[in-house]
Structure 1
Amino acid sequence: MNLIMGDYNTLTVLRETEFAYMLGNEETEIFLHKKQITRELEDGENVEVFLYYDNQKRITATMTKPIVDLDNPGFLDVVDVNHRLGIFLNMGLIKDLLLSRDDLPFIRNEWPQKGDRLFVRLRVSKNQLTAKFVPRFDINKYLKATEDLEVGKEYVAFNVYKTEEGNIFFTEEGHSIYVYFKHMRKEYRLGEKETIKVSIDKGNYQYSGTINKQKEIIISADALIIKKYLEENDGVMEYTDKSSSDDISIVFHMSKSAFKRALGSLYKQGLVLLEKDKTSLVNIDK
Structure 2
Amino acid sequence: MTKNVKEVGKLNSLEAGNIVNLIVSRKTELGYMLTNANREEVFLHSSETENDLENDEKVKVFLYHDHKGRLAATTTMPFIDMNSIAWLEVVGVKHNLGVFLNIGIKKDVLLSKDDLPAERSLWPKEGDKLYCGLRTDKKGRLFADLATSEEIETLSQEAPENLRNQYLTGHVYRFKEQGAMIFTDDRYIAFLHEEEADTKLRLGQRLQVRVTFVREDGRMNVSLKAPKEIAYEEDSQRLIDYLEQNSGFMPYHDKSGPEEIKEVFGLSKAAFKRAMGKLMKEGKVKQSSEGTELLQK
Partner Cα distance (1:57, 1:237) in 2: 62
1:182 aligned residue:
195
Aligned to 2:163, the other structure's residue is in SS state: coil
User: Which of 54, 69, 72 does residue 81 from structure 2 map onto?
Assistant: 69
User: Which of 13, 20, 32 does residue 24 from structure 2 map onto?
Assistant: 13
Q: Show the 5 A alignment for 1:225-236.
A: none
Matched, 1:90 2:110: no
2:179 aligned residue:
166
Partner Cα distance (1:154, 1:164) in 2: 24
1:15 is matched by which residue type in structure 2? R
1:81 aligned residue:
93
Aligned to 1:109, the other structure's residue is in SS state: helix
What RMSD over aligned residues (CA atoms) do the two structures have, in Å?
3.7
2:196 is matched by which residue type in structure 1? H
Aligned to 1:102, the other structure's residue is in SS state: helix
User: Which of 223, 226, 231 does residue 213 from structure 1 map onto?
Assistant: 226
Partner Cα distance (1:236, 1:22) in 2: 78
> Are the counterparts in 2 of residues 186 and 253 from structure 1 also a CA contact under 8 Å?
no
Aligned to 2:215, the other structure's residue is in SS state: strand
2:48 aligned residue:
36
Partner Cα distance (1:174, 1:31) in 2: 40
Q: Show the 5 A alignment for 1:1-286.
A: 2-24=13-35, 27-125=39-137, 126-141=139-154, 143-145=155-157, 150-152=162-164, 153-202=166-215, 205-219=218-232, 221-222=234-235, 254-261=267-274, 269-270=284-285
Offset of 1:222 from its aligned partner? 4.9
1:49 is matched by which residue type in structure 2? V
Provide TM-score, normalisation by structure 1. Answer: 0.78
Partner Cα distance (1:226, 1:117) in 2: 36
> Are the counterparts in 2 of residues 68 and 121 from structure 1 also a CA contact under 8 Å?
yes
Partner Cα distance (1:261, 1:15) in 2: 77
1:76 is matched by which residue type in structure 2? L
The runs of 5 or more residues in structure 2 that have no matched partner are 1-11
Does the C-alpha gap of structure 1 residues 186 and 124 become closer, same or farther in structure 2, counting only changes over 3 Å?
same
Aligned to 2:271, the other structure's residue is in SS state: helix
Give aligned-pair identity as a percent: 35
Offset of 1:58 from its aligned partner? 0.5
Aligned to 1:161, the other structure's residue is in SS state: strand
Show CA shifts across 1:150-203 (max 9, x none): 413211111112223332100244310122333332331111111122233335
Aligned to 2:13, the other structure's residue is in SS state: coil
Provide TM-score, normalisation by structure 2. Answer: 0.75
Partner Cα distance (1:239, 1:54) in 2: 60
Partner Cα distance (2:251, 2:97) in 1: 39
The runs of 5 or more residues in structure 1 that have no matched partner are none
Aligned to 2:56, the other structure's residue is in SS state: coil
Offset of 1:100 from its aligned partner? 1.8
Does the C-alpha gap of structure 1 residues 5 and 219 become closer, same or farther in structure 2, counting only changes over 3 Å?
same
Offset of 1:134 from its aligned partner? 1.8
Partner Cα distance (1:135, 1:123) in 2: 13
Larger Rg: 2
Does the C-alpha gap of structure 1 residues 166 and 39 become closer, same or farther in structure 2, counting only changes over 3 Å?
same
Offset of 1:205 from its aligned partner? 4.8
Aligned to 1:140, the other structure's residue is in SS state: helix
Offset of 1:31 from its aligned partner? 1.6
How many residue pairs end up in the alignment? 279
Partner Cα distance (1:71, 1:27) in 2: 25
